[in-house]
Amino acid sequence: MEKLRGSGVTPTMQRLAILEFLESTTSHPTADEVYTAVHKSCPTIARATIYNTLEALTRAGTILQLTMDPGAAHYDADTGPHVHFRCRLCGRVYDIPMKERRCLGDAVDGHQVESVRTYAFGICASCRGEPPTEAPSSMRKRRSSSPKALRKEKGHA
Ligand SMILES: [Zn+2]
Ligand SMILES: [Zn+2]
């Protein structure tokens, strides 16, 4: 609520539901995924409200809009400095902690840097068959149909 007020975005129940969902996940959902999740608790919400609210929150700097995916933008309530990694096989977007914070908040050549966007691309631990060091539960659930499950069965046979 405070976060919304501070951003100049009028807090409504629907906007709160959207922001609360984004803050509860690290899966970097697309607008469609936000709609699917928020619609469960807020059945009257319109798809246009989701899109408009995500735009408003992005403009206000309350959330990040990640444009690394040519298919659809992903959204992130974590506006702190971190790197985004996108798997080219499953399309999932993961956070990578960024220790390098050099530019953030610094004036570079007289320009005030407000955010640094760095995207990393490759094949994620799930698709490679490696156990991820730390994955949110939403990601773990989806791993049941991953190539690892198949490989594991072969290995045991
Ligand atoms: Zn993957
Ligand atoms: Zn992130």
- pLDDT score of 145: 44
Task: Mention every residue, 6+ apart, whose C-beta is less than 8 A from residue 87.
Answer: 93, 94, 121, 122, 123, 124, 126, 127
Higher-pLDDT residue of 11, 119:
119
Residues 27 and 48 in one domain: yes
Share of the chain above pLDDT 90, in %: 45
Task: Mention every residue, 6+ apart, whose C-beta is less than 8 A from residue 121.
Answer: 68, 85, 86, 87, 88
Q: 123 pLDDT band (50/70/90 cuts)? A: very high
Can you give the residue range of the structural domain that contains 8? 1-78
Residues 52 and 92 in one domain: no
Residues 90 and 155 in one domain: yes
Distance 44 CA to ligand 2 centre (A): 28
Domain boundary (25, 57, 78) is at 78
- 104-120 pLDDT, tens digit per residue, is 565 656 767 777 777 88
Q: 146 pLDDT band (50/70/90 cuts)? A: very low
Distance 119 CA to ligand 2 centre (A): 10
Distance 82 CA to ligand 2 centre (A): 6
- pLDDT score of 62: 93
Domain at 126, CATH number: 3.30.1490
Residues 62 and 85 in one domain: no
* Nearest listed ligand to the Cα of residue 29: 2
Domain at 24, CATH number: 1.10.10.10
Residues 22 and 70 in one domain: yes
- pLDDT score of 96: 81
Domain boundary (38, 63, 78) is at 78
Count of structural domains, the chain: 2
Residues 72 and 29 in one domain: yes
State yes or no: pLDDT of 65 exceeds 90: yes
Q: 71 pLDDT band (50/70/90 cuts)? A: confident
23 dihedral zone (left: phi>0; alpha: psi -120 to 50; beta)? alpha
Residues 155 and 115 in one domain: yes
Residues 47 and 97 in one domain: no
Residues 63 and 135 in one domain: no
Residues 61 and 107 in one domain: no
